[in-house]
Amino acid sequence: MKIDTRLAERLKKINPSSTLAITSKAKKLKSEGKDIVTFAAGEPDFDTPDFIKNAAVEALKSGFTKYTPTTGTPELKKLICQKFKKDNSLEYAPDQIIVSNGAKHSIYNALMVLLNKADEVLIPLPYWVSYPEMANLCEGTPRFIKTSPDNNFKITVTDLKKHITPKTKVLIINSPSNPTGSVYNRSELEEIARVCVSKNIFVISDEIYEKIIFDGAKHESIATFNKDIYGLTITVNGLSKSHSMTGWRIGYLGAPSDVANAISNLQDHSTSNPNSIAQKAAVAALAAPEDFTLNLCQEFQRRRDYLAGRLSGIKKLSFTLPQGAFYMFCDISETGLNSMDFARRLLDEEYVSVIPGGSFGMDDHIRISFATSMDELKKGMDRIEKWVDKL
């Protein structure tokens, strides 16, 4: 038997992470005692609040360690319905809610039940690294809509219409965005919704960074505009970013009933329920006042403003000010380096790790995460400024 026939054909389309070499090397250097500044993190650097941890401890002590319903406990799903109504003006019934092992799992489940072979998924570029790979795993075809910093890396209706074909089945919208921090306003989403309704295109709205938004901007959920777009939208969210619960692996979605039922069946035979203890922790997170999340957002805005000020003083780098999330997407084209060479050399020579923009479809950019302390931001930016000036 030939080696290439041992594994499923679908895996041949999946690309390994181009950032693995950078992150692995950063960890190795750190283990050797090197003073590594990490600007690569995709998670808040704050600890999970104690009241959430305490709920998990109580769940353990009370023996809440068995299977739960596949799609989440009734208690948690009720709170998610209330959250959608309060924050997003979205009416979902509990049987339209699916709790999964993180928002990534929710997106994968949605693609899995929507896509037939060769169905096309429209993905704005730059994109979160897993979107195209998930489409490939579901035997769909990712098609990219290139965006421009002149429009804050957001697609326009004109862009969207140009890329629609008879095979287009799904559009993925991520607002606020990873890696750019762009935020779609109401009028932009309304125009996108009209096109999707007219062409019967599903929308997966990835709203995981919803609570991390700056300068008084307002988060909008595309499913709110009318019953037609509501019937085509899968709204995805979770607690990883808003409550610093990345490792707890709790994400959720709200969807039309037929889509939710299909995802329920899929999850029945793949993962079953998400972790029971983490679900109790999620109940505590959703039931509590939003003090932690508000403070987190304010701190991220303070860091963003500092980082923007420092980057403005580096001649060979430019950026678009993010309106949300905790990333700065920087144009490095004037350095003459591609993103992987830039990231490798910066790590080797100055012990600062960043994510190459090639991972997001733009090889002339890097992503700097400001999900790190102000002291680390200052130290890292001192090193970057000195290093780039020498290029």
Which pLDDT does position 273 carry in this prediction?
98
In angstroms, rounded to a whole number, what is the distance separating the alpha carbons of residues 91 and 94? 10
Please give the structure tokens belonging to residue 269.
């035979």
Tell me the pLDDT tens digit for each residue of 15-42.
877 777 788 888 899 999 999 999 998 8
3-state secondary structure of 145: strand
In angstroms, rounded to a whole number, what is the distance separating the alpha carbons of residues 290 and 242? 9
Domain edges within the chain = 3-47+291-390, 65-287
Q: Where are the beta strands (DSSP E) in 68-150?
A: 97-100, 120-125, 141-146
3-state secondary structure of 30: helix
In angstroms, rounded to a whole number, what is the distance separating the alpha carbons of residues 25 and 343? 11
Among 3.40.50.880, 1.10.260.40, 3.40.640.10, 3.80.30.20, what is the CATH number of 65-287? 3.40.640.10
Is the predicted pLDDT of residue 2 greater than 60, yes or no? no
Which pLDDT does position 1 carry in this prediction?
39
Which pLDDT does position 4 carry in this prediction?
66
In angstroms, rounded to a whole number, what is the distance separating the alpha carbons of residues 323 and 218? 10
pTM: 0.96
Cβ atoms of 83 and 232 closer than 8 Å: no
Tell me the pLDDT tens digit for each residue of 336-354.
999 999 999 999 999 999 9
Looking at per-residue pLDDT, the higher value among 286 and 16 belongs to 286
Which pLDDT does position 5 carry in this prediction?
76
CATH number of 3-47+291-390: 3.90.1150.10
Is the predicted pLDDT of residue 195 greater than 80, yes or no? yes
Is the predicted pLDDT of residue 3 greater than 60, yes or no? no
